[in-house]
Amino acid sequence: MQYWEVLVLFLAVAFVYSSVGFGGGSSYLAILALYTFPFQEMRLIALICNIIVVTGGTVIFIRNKQVNWKKVIPLIAVSIPMSYLGAKTKISQDTFFITLGCSLMLAAILLWIKFRYVTEDEAVAKKDNYLRDGALGGAIGFLSGMVGIGGGIFLSPILNLMKWDTPKKIAATASLFILVNSISGIAGQLSALQGSLDYTHIGLLCAAVFLGGQIGSRMGAVKFNQLVVRRVTAVVVFAAGAEVLVKHLHL
């Protein structure tokens, strides 16, 4: 795979993922794995690209008062330190890729599921469980930090399955979750990173996802059927996860 192909793929991933409210970290990692990018830089690049893609959407969600802070704070309060710890966890290259492959396949399954979304009245009537939410946020945060993704691709489907809140508020929660956990994960990565970084490559990839994310966030919600986009994404992510596992399990 040529480097210009990686740039095009990053732009396309940011375009598709931003249209459904995700950052795309899982697919960035899959692309970098296939491109055989330096192992130590992969997670850092994916997290930086996540931040670029989701920041704008998160600000819009907050401005439109779609973030239910009372319910969101238990999720992110536990996930932030756990994401940092996950990012600092030292794992071998093979362990990383096997974990990544399994995570991609799990994410694909969650993306494929069709949900029955709850109404505003149903969400208000549902009793909050802050202990459960904190545990969920911590578990996803640790896995996300260790693998190098924001975690929204796991959190959003799980919250929809739990009928946690309305679709818009779950999307807002996932966007904020991705943002804060990506920042926390970067802090953990930088504290444990050895060697120098290729800033030219990182800068070009960031520019590609910025362009793709801006286009996707403006066009995707209007033009695309979100279930179709999610399921197409699920197929691509599953295939990438299987490819990574086959390569690193030596099957």
- Mean pLDDT confidence for 25-36: 79
- Mean pLDDT confidence for 51-78: 87
Q: What is the pTM of this model?
A: 0.83
- Work out how many domains the chain is built from and give that number: 1
Task: In whole angstroms, give the CA distance from residue 173 to residue 161.
Answer: 15
Residue type, 183: I
Q: What's residue 224's pLDDT?
A: 58
Helix, strand or coil, per DSSP, at residue 180: helix
Q: What's residue 180's pLDDT?
A: 93
pLDDT at 17 exceeding the cut of 80: no
pLDDT at 221 exceeding the cut of 70: no
Classify residue 141 as exposed, middle or buried by CB count within 10 Å of its CB (0-12, 13-18, 19+): buried
Residue 121 lies in a domain: no
Average pLDDT, the chain: 82
pLDDT at 116 exceeding the cut of 60: yes
Residue 178 lies in a domain: yes
Q: Could you list the residue range(s) of the whole structural domain that residue 188 is in?
A: 3-116+126-248
Task: In whole angstroms, give the CA distance from residue 145 to residue 189.
Answer: 9
| Count of C-beta atoms within a 10 Å radius of residue 220 | 19
- Mean pLDDT confidence for 146-151: 85
pLDDT at 23 exceeding the cut of 80: no
Task: In whole angstroms, give the CA distance from residue 229 to residue 12.
Answer: 12
Buried b (16+ CB within 10 A) or exposed e, 149-173: bbbbbbbbbbbbebebbbbebbbbb
pLDDT at 119 exceeding the cut of 60: yes
Q: What's residue 134's pLDDT?
A: 93
Q: Which residues contact 87 (CB under 8 A, 6 or more apart)?
A: 43, 145, 146, 148, 184, 185, 186, 187, 188, 189, 192
pLDDT at 223 exceeding the cut of 80: no
Classify residue 213 as exposed, middle or buried by CB count within 10 Å of its CB (0-12, 13-18, 19+): buried
pLDDT at 173 exceeding the cut of 70: yes
The token duo for 104 is: 């991609």
Q: What's residue 251's pLDDT?
A: 55
Band of the pLDDT at 194, cuts 50, 70, 90? low
pLDDT at 248 exceeding the cut of 90: no
Among 11-15, 53-57, 84-88, 160-164, the range of highest mean pLDDT: 84-88
Q: What's residue 58's pLDDT?
A: 85
Residue with tokens 């409210």: 21
Rounded (5°) CA angle 125-128-26: 115
Please give the distance of CA 75 from its chain centroid, rounded to a whole number. Answer: 15
Residue 202 lies in a domain: yes
pLDDT at 126 exceeding the cut of 80: no
Classify residue 69 as exposed, middle or buried by CB count within 10 Å of its CB (0-12, 13-18, 19+): exposed
Q: What's residue 137's pLDDT?
A: 93
First vs last Cα of the chain: how many Å apart?
Answer: 22
